[in-house]
Amino acid sequence: MKNIKTDKADILLIAIGNSGRRDDGLGWEFADKVSRSCGSLIDCEYRYQLQIEDAVMVSRYDTVIFADASHSELKEGFELQPCIAAHHYFFSSHMQSPETILYLAKELYNKTPEAYTLAITGYNWGLGNTLSKEAEPNLQKAISFFEKKFIPAVGNRA
């Protein structure tokens, strides 16, 4: 459901990855499938990597989830963790961490959204635009968990 005051959803899902590198596209595939099933309840953005400019976007939401593939073998095939703003900013013109983006949102815009990182275990990082068969079940479990945890909460805010 869109927020009447801002014409945006309460939840921002930032998918990080590269769909041309097999399982590195898990974050993007996660966002594609969640956006199809949840419609206007969430806003989705796709990034190869986070940039400092993402802080302004993050500052406009109540809840932000950063979804990305993981090289780690996670117990359930995925893992959701609270994401806390860093205590400092490391300058780089390249990739920034979710914690740094939250730090910048707080320092520059005085906004601290509730934030999470969602890691999904991947296995194949070579060139190609399809997920590995081993990663597919992890993606499905992550989607099911996400929809149960976050989507009913958005409906209750209306």
Q: Where are the domains of the chain?
A: 7-157
- E runs forming strands in the chain: 2-3, 8-9, 11-16, 42-47, 63-70, 78-82, 114-121
pLDDT digits (tens, 9 = 90+) for 35-82: 988 877 899 999 999 999 999 999 999 999 999 999 999 999 999 999
Q: Using 50, 70 and 90 to split pLDDT, how confident is the model at 155?
A: very low
**Burial class (CB within 10 angstroms; exposed 0-12, middle 13-18, buried 19+) of 82:** exposed
Mean per-residue pLDDT of the chain: 89
Task: State the DSSP H helix or E strand holding residue 109, giving kind and residue range, or none if neither.
Answer: helix 98-109
pLDDT tens per residue across span 81-107: 999 998 876 666 567 899 999 999 999
pTM here is 0.89
Reported CATH class of domain 7-157: alpha beta
